[in-house]
Structure 1
Amino acid sequence: MAWGPLSRRAAVAAALAVGAAACASGEGAGGDPAPASSAPAAASGEVDTVVSHGTLRIDDETAALDAACVAPGAGEVEIAAVGTLEPSGRSVEVYFQAHLADPYIAVTVEDGESTELLEASLDERLEVFVTGHRVAAGAIRFVRNLDLDTGTGEFVGFGSIDVDCGAFARDLPAPADGG
């Protein structure tokens, strides 16, 4: 299914909410991070999602990501991830549609007072690399306020994403509240 930029934006909101719920991780004993484990991804419990990990870079900031990876079809990988940009401490939610034919990435950045949506510029093709369980894109030209009519936006910086998917589900996990 080929999605245009408008339908992608609608999917971003749903995917980020679902991905954040799927990627939420607690703490283990002594405040250490809980070990990666399979958690029910659907209300029926039929599909398990292994929390995967990756890295997002935007200019001089880096975020360690907890991610859910989905492989809905041949040549298609979708990733919903959450993390915190360092050194600023801003939280990020990432939706990465790593389709070889029509890739897309959206990053929602929140600092507690404001939220902004960063997207890959339409000026340059987003190059996606899928090798085994590793999904990556580099030299991403991130912009804010992307105008879908002109393809222009305010340049924010260059970045990259690299995710090592522990496993792939067939669908995005259902929200924990069933909605």
Structure 2
Amino acid sequence: MAWGPLSRRAAVAAALAVGAAACTVGEGAGGDPAPASSAPAAASGEVDTVVSHGTLRIEDETAALDAACAAPGAGEIVIAAVGTLEPSGRSVEVYFQAYLADPYIAVTVDDGESTELLEASLDERLEVFVTGHRVAAGAIRFVRNLDLDTGTGEFVGFGSIDVDCGAFARDLPAPADDG
């Protein structure tokens, strides 16, 4: 399924919420990570999510990412990830459609006071590399305020993403029910 930039933006908000929920690590007693369930998903009613890890770079800042990876169809990989840019401490949420035909990446950067959306420039094709479970894109020209009519935006800097997907789900997990 090929999505245009406008429909992607609608999906970004939902996917980032899903990715943040999928990448949240629960705590057990004493602040230790919650133990993984050995019960099958159908029996427990829960979906086991393998947290994958990666790195996002934007200019001179780097974020270690916790990610959820999905492979919804042939030639399609979707990654939703969260992390913190260092040294600034700004939090990031990443939505990466590593599609062979029409790749897309959006990064929401939050400094606690304001949030901005960075996207890959439409001026240059986003090159995606998939090797086994490793998904990467380099020389990403990030812009803010991307105008979908003209394809222009305010240049922020160059960056890259590299994620080692521990496993691929068929779809990204649904957000946790807070009720």
Fold match, TM over 0.5? yes
Pick closer, same or farther for the CA change 1:29–1:95 going to 2, 3 Å: same
Q: 2:10 aligns to what SS in structure 1?
A: helix
**1:172 positional shift:** 1.3
Is the CA contact (8 Å cut-off) linking 1:85 and 1:91 kept in structure 2?
A: yes
Task: State how 1:11-160 maps to structure 2 within 5 Å.
Answer: 11-26=11-26, 45=45, 47-160=47-160
Pick closer, same or farther for the CA change 1:65–1:36 going to 2, 3 Å: farther
Pick closer, same or farther for the CA change 1:110–1:102 going to 2, 3 Å: same
Pick closer, same or farther for the CA change 1:139–1:30 going to 2, 3 Å: farther
Give the TM-score normalised by structure 1.
0.90
CA distance in 1, matches of 2:46, 2:163: 24
CA distance in 2, matches of 1:69, 1:85: 20
Pick closer, same or farther for the CA change 1:37–1:25 going to 2, 3 Å: farther
TM-superposition CA deviations, 1:112-137 (whole Å, max 9, x none): 00000000000000000011000000
**1:95 positional shift:** 0.1
Stretches of structure 2 lacking an aligned partner (at least 5 in a row): none
Percent sequence identity over matched residues?
A: 95
Pick closer, same or farther for the CA change 1:168–1:148 going to 2, 3 Å: same
Pick closer, same or farther for the CA change 1:44–1:26 going to 2, 3 Å: closer
**1:32 positional shift:** 7.2
- Rg larger in structure: 2
RMSD, matched Cα: 2.8
CA distance in 1, matches of 2:89, 2:40: 29
TM-superposition CA deviations, 1:17-71 (whole Å, max 9, x none): 0100000124678767779889999998464220000000000000000000000
Runs of 4+ in structure 1 off by over 4 angstroms are: 26-44
Q: How many residue pairs get matched? A: 179
Q: 1:149 aligns to what SS in structure 2?
A: coil
CA distance in 2, matches of 1:26, 1:12: 24
Pick closer, same or farther for the CA change 1:172–1:38 going to 2, 3 Å: farther
Stretches of structure 1 lacking an aligned partner (at least 5 in a row): none
CA distance in 1, matches of 2:106, 2:51: 20
Pick closer, same or farther for the CA change 1:46–1:54 going to 2, 3 Å: same
